[in-house]
Amino acid sequence: MKYNTVIFDLDGTLLNTLEDLTDSVNYALDKSGYPLRTIEEVRQFVGNGVKVLMNLAVPKKTSPEDTAKCLEIFRKHYSGNLQNKTRPYDGIYDLLKALKEKGVKLAIVSNKYDFAVKALCRDYYNEFIHVAIGESQGVAKKPAPDTVYTVLKELKASREQAVYVGDSDVDVHTAHNAGLKCVGAAWGFRSREILKAEGADFIIDKPEELLNYLG
């Protein structure tokens, strides 16, 4: 096999988390007295971590202090409501099972905060993935390659035999910054056109197509 390690993004790649994220964003906005956002707006805001998500969701000219308060409301609400509507994408379980049977090393690297990443990985994919890293204080988040390097070290894997699978421009840049090929997941939060424009090395429309790319 050409590649023996696959690192996945989480939101928009393994799990459709958009409705739960939108609900928690709007809960925080409503509690703060701000206008609500549509699910399509939130779709465009996600990918760079919750701080960026909230900075984009609050009205322009909102003070940093008020934005931080809104973010804290979001964090508390989302921590207790992150699985209300969240679901794996069709075909993901079958893909992970097939990869595990082939002996492929699997991991998650996400810009979602670390607690949520580990909780969702444990509850949905514990039988397949045991290394999952999210955003935490003092660690550079994607598109910096730091968390990818951490995963590779933990898995005892090489960059040459690893690929990164994600649905956004951030994922493409993360992969390339870490020296990995990027497989774009066209079923996620961004379009095939964006993935192509940002330089994804390969784009797949269904999870099972990844098996063809790994060789």
Q: What are the pLDDT digits (tens) for 203-214?
A: 999 999 999 998
Residue 198 gets the label, from left (phi > 0), alpha (psi -120 to 50) or beta, of: alpha
CATH code given to domain 5-16+87-214: 3.40.50.1000
Q: Do domains 5-16+87-214 and 18-80 have the same CATH topology?
A: no
Mean pLDDT to the nearest integer, 124-145: 94
| HSE toward the beta carbon, residue 132, CA cutoff 13 A | 23
Domain-wise residue ranges, the chain: 5-16+87-214, 18-80
18-80 topology per CATH: DNA polymerase; domain 1 (1.10.150)
> What confidence score (pLDDT) does residue 197 get?
97
Q: What are the pLDDT digits (tens) for 71-126?
A: 999 999 999 999 999 999 999 999 999 999 999 999 999 999 999 999 999 999 99
Mean pLDDT to the nearest integer, 191-208: 96
**Would you say residue 132 has pLDDT above 90?**
yes
Mean pLDDT to the nearest integer, 9-22: 98
**Percent of the chain at pLDDT above 90?**
94
DSSP string across 115-127: HHHHHHHHHHHTT
Mean pLDDT to the nearest integer, 45-61: 95
Mean pLDDT to the nearest integer, 150-171: 96
